[in-house]
Each structure stands twice: as C-alpha cells, then as structure tokens.
Structure 1
Amino acid sequence: MSRIDVIKNNQTRLNKRYKELIEQAYNFRQTDSALSDISEFRAIKLLNKLNRLKYLAREQSKATP
C-alpha cells in the first residue's frame, strides 16, 4: 500500500468520525449543551487533522510523477 493510499484511508476514517461528532453535537444541543460543546470541540480537532492530511495528500500527489 502506497503512502497516498494510507493517507486517503485515514482521511476517510476521520471524515466519518467527524460527521458522527457533528451530528452528536447537533443532537445534544437542545438537551445538554456541555456535551454538545465537547462533541463540537472534538470535531474541530478532527477537522484540523483532516486539513493536515489533505495537505499531505496534495504534496504526495505533486511528488509522484
């Protein structure tokens, strides 16, 4: 498995988890605002990781002829 494939697999896994956390934050919004904030914070951290992986994938695709 090439490096770009590993990055893409990680992106897919993290994107799925990000969507779950955003949905969870939305669902908790009305009942428990503290849990909603925690879920949203975790989602933001994951989004940061996704952005870094997107950058790495871009760099890897440029480097590969």
Structure 2
Amino acid sequence: MDRIDLIKSNQNKINKRYKELVEQAYNFRQTDSALSDISEYRAIKLLNKLNRLKYLSRDLTLNSI
C-alpha cells in the first residue's frame, strides 16, 4: 500500500498546482494573453500527468484485489 499512498499524495500536489495554474490563466486572460496561454499550457500538461497517475493508481488497486 506504500506505493498507492505515494501516488495519491503526488496526485494531490499536482491537482493543487493544476488548480492554481487554471486560476492564474483565467486571471491573466484580460491583462496579458501570452501569460494566460503559458499558464493554460502548463495546466494542460499537469492534467495529462494527473490522468496518467489516476490510471496507474487504478491499475494498482485492481491488482491488489
């Protein structure tokens, strides 16, 4: 179960950073569109990483059953 806990904590950190970047992109939308696009791109990359971790944790929980 150590590995699953490690994945879950990593998911929480990435999810928090993802939300910060989405909010930052939204806030920059009116003032600086370039910064908004950069923040949105970084958020999309983190979302992709989150989806991979979700798949990995799902796979680990299925194997432990």
**Alignment partner of 2:30: what SS?**
coil
1:58 maps to 2:58: yes
* Match runs of 1:12-51 below 5 Å: 12-51=12-51
Where structure 1 has 5 or more consecutive residues not aligned to the other structure, the ranges are none
Moved over 6 A (4+): none
Q: TM-score, normalised by structure 1?
A: 0.97
Q: CA deviation at 1:6?
A: 0.4
Where structure 2 has 5 or more consecutive residues not aligned to the other structure, the ranges are none
Seq. identity, %:
75
